[in-house]
Every structure is written in structure tokens, then in C-alpha cells.
Amino acid sequence: MNANQRPKARRLLLETLILTVLYAALGKVCTMLAHSVLSGNLILFWPPAGLALAAFNADGLLPAVIQQWDTGEVLMLGWMNEEALRRTFTEGRVTFWSRSRQEYWRKGDTSGHAQYVHGAAFDCDADTLLVQVDQVGGACHTGTRTCFDGRDVDVAPGARPDATDGVHP
Ligand SMILES: [Zn+2]
């Protein structure tokens, strides 16, 4: 190799290196994209942004309030860990973490009373999730539409001192 060929060889090596890295990156992207398309859910391509916001308790769980999206009915409350949250955000169906059975529980798989996700929002501290759903049948395992139907307790009702006050403490 003479003095003229040396810079050429160096450039060739550099180009080969750059192309190798580019092809490797492209291959990785293609594999991930193919996986996402095959799984029928493009959102799996990256973690849903909401996951990063979630503030779990010491047990790695957060409570999820489930509400019928159009009527506003409060249907039930369940617990989710990070994976249950990810599934709920990406699969269109509500998945809980069952604390008693220590397993994932996709609502409706055994009862047929599925919850189809319509939207979701964290509360101000991101330690509680509200999931608005389309509920098939009854949300409660006892057969009632919501977990709160027919379970009223006696309370001493309060009333604001001045109804025209309008200030809520
Ligand atoms: Zn219930």
C-alpha cells in the first residue's frame, strides 16, 4: 500500500463502520416494527407515556376507579400494577392485578362482562387512575350493574351553610 492509498483505505473503513451501524439500527427498527404489526398493536412499539407518570404505592399497585364513559356510573374499583396498567393502556380491555389470587385478571374473560377502554386519566398525584369504559353487563361479581348498587349506608347528611356562598373549601 503506497502513501496515496492509505487515506482511501481509512475512508473505506470509516464508511464501512458507519454503514454497519446504520444497517444494525435499521434492522432493529424493522424487527420492532414487524413485531408490533404482527401483535396487532402499533403502540407496543414504545411504552405508553402514561406508564411513566404512574405513582404506585409501596406494594407496586395503584387503585383504578372504573366508570361507564357515557352515563358517568361509577362501576367498581380495582388494583393495577405496572403490567396491568400497560395492558389496559394498550390492549383496549381493562386488566387488573388480583391481590387475593396474585394474578392478572382481565375483566370479562370468565364472566363475559368485559370492560372496553374508552379513556383514562390519572388524578392530581398520579396515584389513582380513572378508567372510562364501555361495560358489558354488570361490573360487580354479585351481578349488579355497579359494585355500589343497593348498598347504601345511613349517613348524617351535611349541607353547606350558605347555598349562595359558592366557595368550596
Ligand atoms: Zn363488586
Tens digit of each residue's pLDDT, the chain (169 residues) = 566 677 888 898 889 888 888 888 887 766 666 555 555 444 444 567 789 999 999 999 999 999 999 999 999 999 999 999 999 999 999 999 999 999 999 999 999 999 999 999 999 999 999 999 999 999 999 999 999 999 999 999 999 998 665 555 5
Together in a domain, 14 and 54: no
Ligand 1 centre and the CA of 76: distance in Å?
6
Ligand 1 centre and the CA of 140: distance in Å?
4
The answer to whether the beta carbons of residues 64 and 53 sit under 8 Å apart is no
Selection from 85, 80, 123, 74 nearest residue 99 by Cα? 80
Q: What is the pLDDT of residue 20?
A: 84
Together in a domain, 59 and 26: no
Together in a domain, 22 and 53: no
Q: What is the pLDDT of residue 162?
A: 80
Cell numbers at residue 63, please?
Answer: 387503585
Could you give phi then psi for residue 20, rounded to 5 degrees?
-60, -45
Together in a domain, 81 and 23: no
The answer to whether the beta carbons of residues 14 and 23 sit under 8 Å apart is no
The domain tally of the chain equals 2
DSSP state letters, 75-103: EEEEEE-HHHHHHHHHHSB-EEEETTTTE
Together in a domain, 108 and 125: yes
Together in a domain, 9 and 73: no
Q: What is the pLDDT of residue 7?
A: 80
Q: What is the pLDDT of residue 50?
A: 84
Q: What is the pLDDT of residue 32?
A: 64
Ligand 1 centre and the CA of 112: distance in Å?
15
Ligand 1 centre and the CA of 141: distance in Å?
5
Q: Is 85 among the domain residues?
A: yes
Ligand 1 centre and the CA of 132: distance in Å?
17
Ligand 1 centre and the CA of 100: distance in Å?
14
3-state secondary structure of 145: coil
